[in-house]
Structure 1
Amino acid sequence: MLKRTPLFPVYAEHGARVIDFGGWELPVQFAGIQKEHDAVRQQAGLFDVSHMGEVRVSGVDSLFFLQNLTTNDVSKLEAGQCQYSLMCYPNGGVVDDLLVYKLADDSYMLVINASNIDKDMTWMQQNLTGTVDLTNVSDETAMLALQGPHAEQILAKVTDAPIHSLKTFRFLQDVNVSGIQALVSRTGYTGEDGFELYINQHDAIKLWKTLLNAGQEHGLLPAGLGARDTLRFEARLPLYGQELSKDITPMEAGLSFFVKLDKGDFIGREVIAGQKANGTPRKLVGIEMLERGIPRPHYPVFVDGKQIGEVTTGTQSPTYKTNVGLALIDSAYSALGTELYIEIRGTQVKANIVATPFYKRKP
């Protein structure tokens, strides 16, 4: 039986095409991926991301627990601030990537990937030390993402909270959004400005309709998983199971910025520190096709007839109409401009290595 978010009943009203996504029945598109992608880049899009997991961490040893569990430095967070981080296995492979929110001293919220909720909870319980309480609040929490250059204007119409002054990776708690209590975070997964709103699941449909109504004059559209994937990909934001996995380390994925080796010990630190000092055997790179063809996940990558890796994500960029991808390859071949070949349905098609991200929002 597929799981459904609290917003499932309204999908049909917008003509959603629904798919099985990691055991969830979710919309891959509403009006169409290209149209939704363009709306987020130029106006605004509204995503149902209520399938994501939320875990409360509390207790006097919460900071110590999270410092050992994650790669980023949680001690740097102030209340009202969040950070991107990763949980790793002792071999450096990634358990999951996540956001860590500091709600107050000794009180945090972790936002984890939907398909990893059970695995992550087990991992956290196995590594629990000291006086710490873990509470999985995923089922009672809904999450909407309002993304795009008009997101602030739209949200400002339905709340008196000072969102104009809210900086990236900061959040406000107990915000009144048209009578709905929300945690409002200036974060997202699209490469655009925007907000993620955490609410009680019972308020999800009301907030969805409130935001769509407020955003109508600003070109706000409901957006599905298809546009979410193309948007995050253009911005080179990783997807667990593709750019990250138990077999791919943060260093290989190019996420060293979110690994703070000087904070002290954490799970996976020894291997990751070795990779930082000595280099990684593999590296995630951007590729652009020089001949006709679209790189897709798991397509093999070759140089001089030798397979050197495989594509992790690839598509035709909706913004630029170029055929581009990300590939995890042997580091020896990772220099910009290196010519290589992607095997597409049995034929090797020419490509080269290019700089990423493919898209970067103008300040």
Structure 2
Amino acid sequence: MAMTCDHPDLLPLDEALARLWTALPAPAFPEVRADRDDPATDLAAMDGVALRSGDGPAPRRLLGTLFAGDDPAAFTVTAGTAVRIMTGAALPAGADAILPVEQLREEAGLIHPLTDPEAGDHVRPRGGQARSGDLLLAADQPLNVARTALRAWVGQPLPAPTRIRVAVASTGDELVADPRPHQIRDSNGPMLAALAHALGAEVERRPALPDNPEALAAALRSPGGARILLTSGGVSMGEHDHLPAVLRDLGATILFHKIRLKPGKPMLAAQLGDLLVLGLPGNPVSAYLNALLFLPVALAKLEGRALPDPWRRGRLAGAVRHKGDRPLLHPCRLANGQLHPLPGKGSADLVTLAQADAFAWVEAPGEEAGTKVRYLTVV
């Protein structure tokens, strides 16, 4: 029997992530051009001796030694001579080949080649990687470690390292430090702050917000230097779930609200001026997983990095049954390269979240043992 879709209006996860990525601005980076030939002169690619290949295997007299950074003008290689040279050093005039240490014998002050050298052997030729003025990297390419090195290589000013400031505030009148049976402690705030810190953000913990539209509006109007605000709770269908309406009243752009995912359906993302609000569900598993999926995307775009891919691939060591039409992220332990499903008790099950190593993506009606699935690793 075909399964009916109970939530045809819900946004698929991949589309929600794409909307977030598209909506956020990225830093502008200039193009990178070679400021000189690369290498700027012929360089030794190995430790050995620099010599004239035309002299064949005849013995050579050593004139001295060149290290990386030495001026090669101190030596000129002529017939019957050679210069000891280290990797990265510039070739002296007259030399056209490097004979590696392993291919020579030194005796009585003379170098005896054990092979017949050829012109260009173990030489990095001038301009072999780029010529002066060559375009090495187009403008506005996402920043990564290698591209940072390339900018330094051509003498370009380097982008200042950035840490996006993320404020974390739980919501709910039920959150107290010393709870009575009908109340709870705030575990989402410390959890989300720890996750944001682990992802490289500058984190600010804020006091829990009450279920009060005026208090929410005041907090949203005063971002206090934060670029991203993570909230948990207040985004579903309850009478105290005020965040969506408050954001609309303040003129925020709602990027999406409610996604096709279990747990995590009530997820909300909105832009209020320069502030990105990620409104996470209140249950801890939902809050954690939504933050794990959406916060790295936001941080990468704002820092000018490439879109991250959090998914890995693995096989289920046991079957996972799943009712409903939304994809399920199911808690698992990772052992011996396999995903061992845990008996999770829903989106409020913080105990199982703390025991899990990963969450497997499971489509309805479920997956059998041995099925290859994608999964998220727990940070």
Tell which has more relative contact order, 1 or 2 (C-alpha 8 A, sep 6+): 1
Could you say which structure has the higher strand fraction? 1
Q: By the TM > 0.5 criterion, same fold?
A: no
Q: TM-score, normalised by structure 2?
A: 0.20
Q: TM-score, normalised by structure 1?
A: 0.21
Decide which structure has the larger Cα Rg and report it. Answer: 2
